[in-house]
Amino acid sequence: MDGTQEGLRNKVMFFIIPFLRNKLGLDIQTIREVMIRWGERCSPILDADEIYKEVNRIYGLGFQGKHGVYTQELFRAYGYLDFDQYKIRDEVEITNSFFDDFAEMADASIRIFLSMKLAAELGEVKEFSKKDIQHFANMSERTIERNIKALVGKKYISKRRANRRKGEAYVYYPTPFFSTGKGFTSFGNALLEKMLKELTDGEIKLYCYLRRKSGNQEVSFWASQEYIADKIGKTQQGISLLTDNLNKKGFIRKITEVNGKIKQSKYILKF
């Protein structure tokens, strides 16, 4: 779509911004950068400030489809497009409804889910026995039994009866289909591996939430610790400690300011 002519630009933006968000899972900052580069290739060139405003407006409309309408005008201009060939193949996509349930889910449940999603994405395992989950999540069978129930109950993990002759009652696998109504957040495979290796369960939960929030707004955002604590089922003191730890481990940069009697923190993600 380089060099989009006048008369088609609005249709292109309404088509491609939902595609970048809902199909590829790009955050709004990356989408702005992509569209500004696109605008530079239009003839005449589109103003970056105007594109910035349009991206914010269209992104904010919350289209639920995998892309906007590919109109007859676009078809005549650009021909047939095979949308399935455009995929990010080194990232794990997680439905945003998962993060909305953090207040009700234990920290260990988050590690279990991410471990299984990563292993499935890498093609290591498609269906997991409890021993498989122990291996990838690096936790005891008892901890898995206690924490996988919430994932199954909320349908993020599915289970089916296994071959009992092998000593397993059930096998588990990440539910392959989920609603795109709330969009999704993408994590690079390398980032997930780093998180699972270097962070505690609580730190993983908090970092996931920060990444979800920054992905929907800016590369950084402001929020009170009380607000975040309520959203992920922690105390204000716990959020303060966890953000300090993430700052020390290099996952975020934390800046705290006092406005009158109100203390606010700004979190800038490093990855």
Does 179 fall in a domain? no
Does 257 fall in a domain? yes
Residue written as tokens 């199909």? 23
For residues 246 and 224, the model is more confident at: 246
Please give the tally of structural domains in the chain.
3
Residue written as tokens 């392959």? 176
- Among candidate residues 85, 113, 137, the one where a domain is terminated: 85
Q: Note the pTM of the prediction, 2 decimals.
A: 0.65
50-101 tens-digit pLDDT:
889 989 888 888 777 777 888 888 888 877 776 655 555 578 888 888 999 9
Residue 108's CATH number? 1.10.10.10
Most confident of 134-138, 210-214, 217-221: 134-138
Least reliable range by pLDDT among 127-141, 196-210, 218-232: 218-232
For residues 222 and 243, the model is more confident at: 243
- The pLDDT confidence band at residue 259, using thresholds 50, 70 and 90, is confident
Rounded Cα distance, 243 and 253, in Å: 9
Is the same domain home to 61 and 133?
Answer: no
For residues 172 and 216, the model is more confident at: 172
Task: Check if the beta carbon of residue 114 is closer than 8 Å to that of residue 205.
Answer: no
Rounded Cα distance, 207 and 195, in Å: 9
- Among candidate residues 68, 85, 102, the one where a domain is terminated: 85
18-32 tens-digit pLDDT:
888 877 777 788 888
Q: Which two tokens stand for residue 173?
A: 């696998």
Give pLDDT, residue 258: 81
Is the same domain home to 49 and 97?
Answer: no
Is the same domain home to 209 and 154?
Answer: no
Does 192 fall in a domain? no
Domain that holds residue 55: 9-85
Task: Check if the beta carbon of residue 252 is closer than 8 Å to that of residue 270.
Answer: yes
Arithmetic mean of pLDDT over the chain: 85
Is the same domain home to 99 and 147?
Answer: yes
Does 55 fall in a domain? yes
Residues near 31 by Cβ (< 8 Å), separated by ≥ 6?
Answer: 17, 20, 21, 55, 59
Is the same domain home to 143 and 110?
Answer: yes
121-133 tens-digit pLDDT:
888 788 899 999 9
Does 188 fall in a domain? no
140-183 tens-digit pLDDT:
999 999 999 999 999 999 998 876 666 668 899 998 776 666 67
Mean pLDDT of 233-262: 89
Give pLDDT, residue 110: 97
Is the same domain home to 263 and 211?
Answer: yes
Is the same domain home to 78 and 104?
Answer: no
Is the same domain home to 147 and 213?
Answer: no
Does 22 fall in a domain? yes
Residues near 195 by Cβ (< 8 Å), separated by ≥ 6?
Answer: 114, 187, 204, 207, 251
Is the same domain home to 41 and 71?
Answer: yes
Mean pLDDT of 241-267: 86
Give pLDDT, residue 162: 77
- Among candidate residues 50, 85, 120, the one where a domain is terminated: 85
Is the same domain home to 111 and 156?
Answer: yes
Does the pLDDT at position 15 exceed 80? Answer: yes
